[in-house]
Amino acid sequence: MYNRRIPKGFKVKTGTVIREVDGLYISFTIEDKTVPVEVVEIQPTEQNSKGIDLGLIYYAVTSDGEFIEVPKFFRLSEHRLSKLQMRLAKKSKHSKPWKILKRKIAKLHQLIARQRLDWQFKLAYHLFSDCQVIFLEDLQIANLVRRCKAKLGDNGQFLPNGQSAKSGLNKSLQDAAFGQFVQVWEYVAWKLGKRIIKVDPKGTSQHCWECLNKVSKSLSERWHSCSKCGQELDRDYNSALLIQKIGLLSTQEEDITSVKTAVSFYLTEESRALP
């Protein structure tokens, strides 16, 4: 049975057999020499781009003011999973009922992974539906400056850490799985001929998107209130707008690669006016 048919004109290059809980899968890489490899270089502008802040309270907040929540079905599946795991703990190891439950759990894990991937694809297409360029925090750099020191795995996935478990954020971290989402996003961008530009995330939650003034906040402070220019808005929304701004500036000014460099570029020399 095909998951997807091999498109006409494509040649199968390699095949990999993958064992999953419900059977064996074969993954092919295919090639069509008539498809040109194009490098897309769309120039970002304020109009054709948006900035996106990935977070825990909201999965994503966009610079055009969209707040995207983690879907409820993740929660429901995880709830079912923890119930099954509790039942499993009571069975004697390697007994027949233990084996049956073990298999059920593996299948549920697989279902959750597929639901997540499916949702991430839909979200990526949705976010690109009205823009050409997306500015995004570089998660590798982030190494979680402002997200209570979460640990990242080799693939950029979140690993459980004591602190997040304590504050009840563990589930959200797993649900979020930003590393995978960014990969999906990059694939979708390539498919649509659009662009993802990564921005240094340092300072994006602590500065004002409008005037770059530093507005320090602890992780629990959800509101951005700037005493210098009077901006009042949700902190993640402010971050999304700032990510877009820094992203745009970095494509226009060689000296700007981060909030810090933007601050020294604009705020230390009185002569320069912020765009």
Give the range of 36-44, 91-99, 220-228, 250-258 binding Zn ion by CB under 5 A: 220-228
Residue 208 interacting with Zn ion (CB under 5 A):
yes
* Nearer to Zn ion among residue 60 and residue 243 (C-beta): 243
Residue 274 interacting with Zn ion (CB under 5 A):
no
Residue 264 interacting with Zn ion (CB under 5 A):
no
In order, the DSSP letters of the chain are: --SSPPPTT-EEEEEEEEEETTEEEEEEEEE-TTS------PPP-TTTEEEEEE-SSSSEEETTS-EEPPPHHHHHHHHHHHHHHHHHHHSPTTSHHHHHHHHHHHHHHHHHHHHHHHHHHHHHHHHHTT-SEEEEE-HHHHTTTTTTT-EE-TTS-EE--HHHHHTT-HHHHHHH-HHHHHHHHHHHHHHHT-EEEEE--TTTTTB-TTT--B----TT--EEE-TTT--EEEHHHHHHHHHHHHHHHHHH-TT-SSHHHHHHHHTS-TTPPP-
Cβ at position 235, least distance to Zn ion in Å = 13
Cβ at position 168, least distance to Zn ion in Å = 32
* Nearer to Zn ion among residue 117 and residue 211 (C-beta): 211
Pattern of binders to Zn ion over 153-192, x per CB under 5 A? ----------------------------------------
Determine which residue in the list 229, 252, 272, 275 makes contact with Zn ion, applying CB under 5 A: 229
Determine which residue in the list 226, 256, 259, 262 makes contact with Zn ion, applying CB under 5 A: 226
Determine which residue in the list 114, 166, 191, 228 makes contact with Zn ion, applying CB under 5 A: 228
Pattern of binders to Zn ion over 2-41, x per CB under 5 A? ----------------------------------------
**Binding positions for Zn ion, rule: CB under 5 A:** 208, 210-211, 213, 226, 228-229, 231
